[in-house]
Amino acid sequence: MGDGTEIGKVRGLGPGHQGAHHWLHQRYTAFGNLFLGAWFVTSLLLLSSLDMDTVRDWLAKPIPATALILLIVSTFYHARLGLQVAIEDYVHDEGSKAGLIGLLSLVFVAVGTFAVFCVLKISLTTGGSIL
């Protein structure tokens, strides 16, 4: 029969049914990473020093801790989406493809959860002001 109508392909309703959705998520996370990354670098440059105590005191505040957690989640999700596309494009065996995408998701969830846990541990165990 074919892969669907031309208008269906344009709307992202081709054989995979998720082309536009996946593409939009990559763009949204890239946009978020741009601003959160700029915030992170600027914040570090504005600190008086980069010793452990200064960074810990900065990270103990809720706004920097929340923004850093958002940066971690967005960056890991963006990287996972990009690697998923590479796997889908270059791995042709369906069983291997599904296994690699599952392993990829597991690794990114595990490492991302660990990174968020580390930020929360520093933030919640260090006394600091609200701002």
- Would the pTM count as exceeding 0.85? no
What's the confidence (pLDDT) of residue 17?
A: 58
What's the confidence (pLDDT) of residue 22?
A: 83
Strand stretches in 19-61, DSSP E? none
Residues of the chain with pLDDT under 50: 1
What's the confidence (pLDDT) of residue 23?
A: 87
Task: Measure the CA–CA gap between 101 and 1, rounded to whole angstroms.
Answer: 29
Q: Tokens representing 10?
A: 């344009």
CATH architecture assignment, domain 30-125: Up-down Bundle (1.20)
What's the confidence (pLDDT) of residue 14?
A: 53
What's the confidence (pLDDT) of residue 1?
A: 46
